[in-house]
């Protein structure tokens, strides 16, 4: 019996070609790197929320964050919320997650260099961000190079 080209009601509808069955090792490692970055952002966001609600004190921030100037509190809160959103995007492997994470990294660098008296970003955070961005960009270039040389799907 020949198969009909008319889809059945429960057949999936593919807008794009179906995904490959097996990923290359570089692609698997890239997914691992994105998920590790997501976990780092999650830890950072949870730490930020603990500081905001006063569960832990940060010696550089001078105790409870609620007693700080509004600019520091606003920037810290925005970066914390953005970290949670970027964490979800990176975990889901969505392109907007990586974009938001890179915006957070750029904002961290700008705050550290342009507003050093606020003290909400440390050099440790900057070095961690620089390391993660360099690993991310290196892996991204490898995956792009692999996708350009891969044979087309049938």
Domain count, the chain: 1
Query: Is residue 44 one of the residues assigned to a domain?
Result: yes
Does a structural domain hold residue 1? no
Q: Select the more confidently predicted residue: 67 or 94.
A: 94
Range of the domain at 49: 25-147
Q: 118 or 85, which is more confident?
A: 85
Q: What is the DSSP letter of 154?
A: -
Cβ contact 132:37 at 8 Å:
yes
Please indicate, yes or no, if residue 17 is contained in any of the structural domains: no
Q: What's residue 116's pLDDT?
A: 80
pLDDT at 129: 94
Question: Is 33 part of a structural domain of the chain?
Answer: yes
Q: Determine the distance from the C-alpha atom of residue 146 to the mean position of all C-alpha atoms in its chain, rounded to a whole number.
A: 22
Q: Is residue 118 part of a domain?
A: yes
Phi, psi of 68 (to 5 degrees): -95, 165
Lowest mean pLDDT among 33-42, 73-82, 114-123, 136-145: 114-123
Is there a domain that residue 101 lies in?
yes
């Amino acid at each position: 019996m020949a198969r009909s080209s008319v889809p059945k009601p429960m057949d999936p509808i593919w807008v794009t070609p179906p995904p490959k069955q097996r990923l290359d090792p570089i692609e698997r490692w890239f997914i691992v790197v994105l998920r590790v970055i997501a976990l780092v952002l999650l830890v950072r966001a949870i730490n930020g929320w603990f500081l905001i609600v006063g569960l832990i004190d940060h010696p550089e921030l001078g105790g409870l964050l609620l007693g700080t100037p509004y600019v520091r509190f606003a920037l810290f809160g925005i970066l914390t919320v953005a970290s949670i959103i970027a964490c979800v995007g990176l975990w889901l492997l969505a392109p907007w997650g990586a974009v938001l994470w890179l915006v957070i990294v750029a904002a961290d660098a700008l705050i550290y260099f342009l507003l050093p008296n606020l003290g909400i970003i440390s050099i440790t955070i900057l070095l961690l961000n620089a390391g993660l961005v360099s690993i991310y960009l290196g892996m991204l270039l490898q995956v792009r190079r692999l996708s350009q040389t891969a044979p087309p799907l049938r």
